[in-house]
Amino acid sequence: MFSLLTWMITAAIAADGPKPVSFEADVKPILREHCARCHGDDVHKSDLNLQSYAATLKGGSGGEVVIAGRPGGSSLYQAIAREGDALPMPPNRPRIADAEVAIVRQWIAEGLRETPDGAPAMSRRSLDFKPPASLKLDAGPGAMPSHLPPLEIPTTRRPQPITALASSPRAPLIAVAGHEQILLYQTESQSPLGALAFPEGVPFVLRFSRDGGVLLAAGGRPVRSGKVVLFDVRTGKRLAEIGDELDSILAADLSPDQRLVALGGTGKIVKVYSTADGKLLYTINKHTDWIRALQFSPDGSKLASGDRSGAVHLWESSTGGILLSLSDHKDAIEAIDWRGDGQALATAGEDGKLIVWDAQGGWPSITLDAPHTPRATAKGRGKRPGGVLSVEFTREGKLITSGRDRFVRFWDGSGKPLAAYETPDALPTKVAASFDGRTILAGDASGRLHSWKTQP
């Protein structure tokens, strides 16, 4: 009888599922124990009262302390987790238990419910991927190189790491960065199709235009010069040379309508130029560290930028006006990529995080805290870094990443792992998806190009 009753209770709990975390049931007891003496009904330092739900959402003299859906951007979570720039809380006392920190984090991530049965403070949009018409493959064949001018390839003493990699969105064509050159290959056979001269130095960025007819290359020579060059894919002709930097350009992109070029690097400034005449249109000065990633949204209305301190910002591409600041990363941003419908933005960082953001609301829809955790060493000395080095959406809205665990990983649109491919001899520095989504490509630190099939 006892066993039957136990089974019935367990089954009933399982059927109902776990209750969502709420302020009244879960968070309030934690804040009451650790924070209410300084931030309660009787005493509320910095005008912050954490003893009630409404007061907690109101925040204090410094503004709101919790942001629905964004634990990493909430100063309350940063304070109790002792992350970011927030002052530790409670002060002069040990950090509160990991389990309690996790509860507060989950409460914020789930939308700041007041009670278990209550609605979240924010209503999340559905981010199901719906491919726009512009991604259809029935628009005719894309541009392929033909009759490129001959190029004398410079020799190097050691292999050049693949510092940039791009796949045409309309044709079986990939571009690979080399020393003072860009190598072009057929995607399936990886047979060489020619090369483009880049005497400016090393290309750190390669990007095809949305129609596949133009290739952007950006880079330069460290502490000397940097430039963006636009090439006609079919002929190899230089269409434009933009910028005159005093250091290598580390991030750049061409707007979908091909009217704007954005660039950034060690100067900590985003610069946006007109492709018509090469004139500087405006600058963005909000970043406090090197610009590591830049990309226009698929419709061209937004520009995303990320820097070496982990800051990510969204801007109006026409004016440079700020739209959103996304602050969940704690280390350098290595890559940014927009999903094809423009509703989601993926960011990859040296903090080991892969985050997919709602580009309209600014909340993270997917957060993978350690997608590229390296295997433990035999000696077990120290913590090995697990940074995410590259990220790209496929045509179907799936994700490809590479990381310091020396793996290239394939994910579905919800962040579920689909496959993993090891590059044991060198770090996979860059990834790309073929125009039809059937092939995953990766370049590594030893200059080798790898490919894997995602489907027959």
CATH number of the domain encompassing residue 326: 2.130.10.10
The gap between the terminal CA atoms of the chain, to the nearest Å, is 55
182 and 322 assigned to the same domain: yes
* Residue-level pLDDT at 140: 58
* Residue-level pLDDT at 14: 40
* Residue-level pLDDT at 135: 62
Measured CA to CA, the distance from residue 170 to residue 168 in angstroms comes to 5
- In a domain, residue 444? The reply is yes
392 and 354 assigned to the same domain: yes
Measured CA to CA, the distance from residue 264 to residue 414 in angstroms comes to 31
Output phi, psi for 309, to 5 deg.
-90, -5
* Residue-level pLDDT at 10: 41
Strand ranges in 126-213 using DSSP code E only, listed in sequence order: 165-167, 173-178, 181-186, 192-197, 202-208
144 and 46 assigned to the same domain: no
Q: Is the dihedral of CA 67, 107, 99, 31 positive or negative?
A: positive
Is the CB of residue 271 less than 8 Å from the CB of residue 243? Answer: yes
- In a domain, residue 123? The reply is no
163 and 43 assigned to the same domain: no
Measured CA to CA, the distance from residue 303 to residue 324 in angstroms comes to 11
Q: Is the dihedral of CA 45, 51, 53, 54 positive or negative?
A: negative
SS3 percent helix, strand, coil of the chain, rounded to 5, is: 15, 35, 50
86 and 143 assigned to the same domain: no
* Residue-level pLDDT at 263: 98
* Residue-level pLDDT at 209: 95
- In a domain, residue 416? The reply is yes
Which helix (DSSP H) or strand (DSSP E) does residue 11 occupy? helix 2-16
Question: What residues does 419 pair with on adjacent strands?
Answer: 410
What residues make up the domain containing 63? 19-109
203 and 238 assigned to the same domain: yes
- pTM, rounded to two decimals: 0.81
43 and 176 assigned to the same domain: no
Measured CA to CA, the distance from residue 367 to residue 40 in angstroms comes to 32
Is the CB of residue 244 less than 8 Å from the CB of residue 153? Answer: no
Over its C-alpha atoms, the chain yields an Rg (Å, rounded) of: 24
DSSP structure string for 255-271: -TTSSEEEEEETT--EE
57 and 155 assigned to the same domain: no
231 and 191 assigned to the same domain: yes
User: What is the number of structural domains in the chain?
Assistant: 2
Question: What residues does 338 pair with on adjacent strands?
Answer: 345
* Residue-level pLDDT at 222: 94
- In a domain, residue 3? The reply is no
Measured CA to CA, the distance from residue 391 to residue 17 in angstroms comes to 34
180 and 80 assigned to the same domain: no
Is the CB of residue 210 less than 8 Å from the CB of residue 134? Answer: yes
209 and 316 assigned to the same domain: yes
One-letter amino acid identity for 405? D
27 and 170 assigned to the same domain: no
- In a domain, residue 121? The reply is no
3-state SS assignment for residue 361 = coil
- In a domain, residue 13? The reply is no
pLDDT tens, position by position, for the chain (456 residues)? 434 333 333 444 344 556 789 999 999 999 999 998 899 888 888 889 998 888 898 888 888 888 888 887 788 988 998 886 678 888 888 899 999 999 999 898 888 888 888 888 766 666 777 767 666 665 557 899 988 877 776 666 777 899 999 999 999 999 999 989 999 999 999 999 999 999 999 999 999 999 999 999 999 999 999 999 999 999 999 999 999 999 999 999 999 999 999 999 999 999 999 999 999 999 999 999 999 999 999 999 999 999 999 999 999 999 999 999 887 898 999 999 999 999 999 999 999 999 999 998 888 889 998 999 887 665 555 556 789 999 999 999 999 999 999 999 999 999 999 999 999 999 999 999 999 999 999 999 999 999 999 876
User: Number of helices and strands (H, E) in the chain?
Assistant: 5, 27
- In a domain, residue 73? The reply is yes
Output phi, psi for 268, to 5 deg.
70, 15
What DSSP state is assigned to residue 90?
A: S
Is the CB of residue 270 less than 8 Å from the CB of residue 290? Answer: no
CA 75 → CA 27, 67, 89, distances in Å? 15, 9, 10
- In a domain, residue 11? The reply is no
Q: Is the dihedral of CA 177, 178, 180, 183 positive or negative?
A: negative
